[in-house]
């Protein structure tokens, strides 16, 4: 079973920030948090990962709480093309849960 909990769906207005939460209360001290997304019927795409510190790349920002039991993926200016299922994964066994279906609306 996946070691993370995510809301099943979220909506976001185009151009606004999308904040996707993930709970991983059983995370171990040296396990990384990874985020992937899957656009309909395509292979999952890596977005970002982090261990303790907040991370930012050209796609998104990752905010990890100090106790590491939860994190938030931030898409700063969501576009229609960001509509996808977003997966939060913890650790090295790469077990995907159901993810969050993000719908960006015009």
Partner 1 sequence: ETGVTQTPRHLVMGMTNKKSLKCEQHLGHNAMYWYKQSAKKPLELMFVYSLEERVENNSVPSRFSPECPNSSHLFLHLHTLQPEDSALYLCASSQDVPLREAYTQYFGPGTRLTVL
**Under rule CB under 8 A, residue 31 binds partner 1:** yes
Reading the block at residue 101, the tokens are 């279906």
**Under rule CB under 8 A, residue 17 binds partner 1:** no
Cβ at position 16, least distance to partner 1 in Å? 28
**Under rule CB under 8 A, residue 46 binds partner 1:** yes
Strand partners, 50: 33
**Under rule CB under 8 A, residue 53 binds partner 1:** no
Residue from 5, 19, 63, 96 in contact with partner 1 (CB under 8 A): 96
Which secondary structure element, helix H or strand E, spans residue 9, and what is its range?
Answer: strand 9-13
CA dihedral 5, 25, 18, 85 (to 10 degrees): -30
């Amino acid at each position: 079973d996946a070691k993370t909990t995510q809301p099943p769906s979220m909506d976001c207005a185009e151009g606004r920030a999308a904040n996707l939460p993930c709970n991983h209360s059983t995370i171990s001290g040296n396990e990384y948090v990874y985020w992937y997304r899957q656009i309909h019927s395509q292979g999952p795409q890596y977005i970002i990962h982090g261990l303790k510190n907040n991370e930012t790349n050209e796609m998104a920002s990752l905010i990890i709480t100090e106790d590491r039991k939860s994190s938030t993926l931030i898409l700063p200016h969501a576009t229609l093309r960001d509509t996808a299922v977003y997966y939060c994964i913890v650790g090295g066994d790469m077990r995907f849960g159901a993810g969050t279906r993000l719908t960006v609306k015009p």
